[in-house]
Every structure is written in C-alpha cells, then in structure tokens.
Amino acid sequence: MSRERLRTTFDTVAADYQRARPDYPADLYADLLTMTGIEPPANLLEVGCGPGKATIPLARLGFRITAVELGAALAGEARRELRDFPAVSVVTAPFETWRSRDVAPFDLLYAATAWKWIDPRLKYDRAAALLPSGGHLAVWDAQHAFPEDFDPFFTEIQRVYDEMGEGDGAAWPPPTPEEQPDPTAAEFEDSGQFAVVGTRRHVWARKYTAEEYIALLDTFSGHIAMQASKREHLYGEVRRLLAVRPDGRLTRHWLAVLTVGRRL
C-alpha cells in the first residue's frame, strides 16, 4: 500500500490512538527547549498532531500552538483533548496544501511520529516557508527499540510475521538503539534549507498485557491495512505466547530520535 493511502489509515483508529500509543519522555521536551532556546509563549506549528499526543505537554507549558492534522476524526479527538487550552488551535488539512493565516512567522515547526508521512518532495520547502531565518524545525519518531536485552517475545512473534509473509526481510535482531541510523539529519542538510543543531536519543520501556499490546498494534498502519485473517492469526499468537508467562506481560522498548535544525 502506498504512503498516501497508509497515512490515512490512522484516522480509522482515532478514538484509540491517544490511549494506546506511549507518551514521549519528559526529557525529550526538555532537550527540545534547550536545543531550540524557545520559551512560552512562542508561536509553534505542529505537523500531524493526531489526537494531541505531543501537543498537550507543550500546551501545558504555555506555548501558542497551531496544530495541523490530515484526519478529520483525529483532529476532532485533538480538539477534545485540547479544549482547555485556548492558545491552541487544531486545523483539519494536509500540511502540503495548508496555508497559514498568521502574519507573524512561527518560531518552531515540529512533527512527532508524523514527518515521514509528509510528501518528501515538498516538506522541507514548506517548512522553510513558514519559518524565519533562525527559526527551528524539530522532528522525532517513536520506533520499536531493541537493546541487547530485549524481550525474547519479539523473536518468537517475528517468526509469525515471517511465516505470514509480513516480515520486512531485514536481518534479525535489528540494530541496537545506539546503532540505529538517523536519516532525518541527512535530510535536513540535503534540503539546503536547514542546518542541524543536534540530535538526541531517548530510550524507554513499557510493559503490556496481550490486550494492551494488541490495542497498540491496532494503531499501526501496517496492521490496520493487514488482511483480516492474518491479523486474527497474529493476535491469537500474541495471546498464546503471553498466556504462558506468569505475569502475562511483555516489555517493549521505544526509541525516539529528536533531530533539530535551524532555518538558514
């Protein structure tokens, strides 16, 4: 399925996304403020806010935020989650074609687990057009991390993906968080619009029951788009593998690589 079609799948799980997806660590926001030097009430633009996962922590700090979201259902969830923050507005639109009504430029444009879904031919030019010289672009993602002591559950369940033809063909196990490349930094430089200020890696872990983990999987585009029979088989295997554990839980590690660039 194409990027264009996959990026619309998240809207079908709008009601579950906020609860199922992990919060980003507080240290990530501290690094963001340190690396950009921004302070409330600076004017921020968020690209792909979803239900407000990364919007709420910055709204609580007192920033003015315009949050642009492609999905109507996700935008509706974000408005509900952010109803107590009058300095935050949520716009339903594709970032590629959205036009700002603000006269003043934004101090920071940021995207959390959304930048990879924006048209690569347009996103850096669009970001640069919305920022003054010296303004900042910050992006980060939430990836599955595999430290040396990662939970063996994932080796077992990977066999299920491979048997169903849903594996990605990459070597197993994946690189550790320290070895994971950061292609975004190279993109920043290659755009000719941004100089990389720095990158910061954040790794954290969460425990999940079978049902909690299935709820998480249900928010991933590849699982939403998966053939129903395959998805049913996969989830049955998740339940089976965790049913034999005394606590019935798995531990999943997360990696967020924060990349910050300064507008030239």
Q: Name the 3-class secondary structure at 212.
A: helix
**137 in Cβ contact with 194 (< 8 Å):** yes
Q: pTM for the complete prediction? A: 0.94
Top CATH class of 3-147+176-205+253-263 equals: alpha beta
Q: pLDDT tens, 48-74?
A: 999 999 999 999 999 999 999 999 999
User: What sign results for the dihedral spanned by CA atoms 122, 75, 139, 116?
Assistant: negative
pLDDT (0 to 100) of residue 65 = 97
Per-residue pLDDT at 5 exceeds 90: no
Amino acid symbol at 260: V
Cα distance between the two ends of the chain: 36
Distance CA 107, CA 44 (A): 6
Give the residue ranges of DSSP H helices in the chain: 3-6, 14-20, 26-36, 55-60, 72-81, 123-129, 153-164, 183-191, 210-217, 221-224, 228-243
Average pLDDT of every residue of the chain: 94
Per-residue pLDDT at 1 exceeds 60: no
Instruction: Parse the chain into domains and list their residue ranges.
Output: 3-147+176-205+253-263
Give the pairing type, strands 43-47 and 143-145: unpaired
Q: pLDDT tens, 92-142?
A: 999 999 998 776 689 999 999 999 999 999 999 999 999 999 999 999 999
